[in-house]
Amino acid sequence: MSSSVPPYPRKRFGQNFLVDHNIVKKIVARAALSPHETVLEIGPGRGALTRVLCQVATRVLAVEIDEDLFRNLQDELKAHVNLELSFGDALAYPYTTLPPHTVVVANLPYNISTPLLFKLFDARASVDRMILMLQLEVAKRLAAKAGTREYGVLSVLAQYFADVDVAFTVSRTCFRPRPDVESAIVELRLKPPCEMDRPEDIQQFVRVVKAAFSHRRKTLLNAMRDAGMASDALKVAFEGTGIHGGRRAETLTVHDFQRLARMLALA
């Protein structure tokens, strides 16, 4: 490793580096990359995943926020002509410039994984699927089904944008330094924009889901009314959909929320 590498991993950048090569191979195998696909890696770090991605993919884009790691990677991976490294914040990355059929493969910095996920959902015109290392608890929430303890806003919104599967769990011993939490690889296959609602309907859907879960212990009617939605409109929407306002948010499927949001837009 060159002398530009920081002596200690930077906690503020969520630096828990993968040191188990078998896990790296399992992640890349799960990505099942085809030659026409471009890979985007967020946070290449010391390059454990990047090296293998460069061996199997035609084109690899990678964005790293830590300048020392970025410079080190430029040096260490210069032989890989299919790698395009950029230095910067993945939260400010120009996702709209990604080529079609991009696959995101990343061991994400856990501290910003949720806002990053929403940036990536917004990029679904170009992103086909994502293979992501996440905190196990977040992975479970993303894939949770209605009626379970983990089911909430994150589950409904993620499953609205994508089909979600927890692929496998990853032990803390596979990282240096060891993270404080368990991890898992999640695969999210994004729904193509043509199958999605219009932008204003998506906004309405998000508003409805957040309002429904805003007071978990309250009924739908009370929670949504307390979140600022008009009682009359809510009553019309509950009647129109056949969804009882006395139910709790966690009993509704993604499809139920879609029906409710559409009916509320008309009410």
Residues forming the site for ligand SAM (CB under 6 A): 13-18, 42-46, 48-49, 63-66, 69, 89-91, 107, 109, 112
As measured in angstroms, the least distance from the Cβ of 243 to ligand SAM is: 39
As measured in angstroms, the least distance from the Cβ of 178 to ligand SAM is: 12
Residue 10 to residues 3, 33, 72: CA-CA distances in angstroms? 16, 31, 15
As measured in angstroms, the least distance from the Cβ of 150 to ligand SAM is: 22
Residue 182 to residues 103, 104, 172: CA-CA distances in angstroms? 24, 21, 6
Using alpha carbons, select from 189, 184, 166, 164 the residue that is nearest to residue 174. Answer: 184
Q: Considering beta carbons, is residue 21 or 255 the nearer one to ligand SAM?
A: 21
Q: Considering beta carbons, is residue 175 or 205 the nearer one to ligand SAM?
A: 175
Q: Considering beta carbons, is residue 109 or 212 the nearer one to ligand SAM?
A: 109
Q: Considering beta carbons, is residue 45 or 212 the nearer one to ligand SAM?
A: 45
Is residue 17 classed as helix, strand or coil in its secondary structure? strand
Count of beta carbons in the 10 Å neighbourhood of residue 259 = 16
The residue nearest ligand SAM at its CB is: 43
As measured in angstroms, the least distance from the Cβ of 104 to ligand SAM is: 12
Task: Name the CA dihedral angle for 192, 186, 120, 196, rounded to a multiple of 10 degrees.
Answer: 30
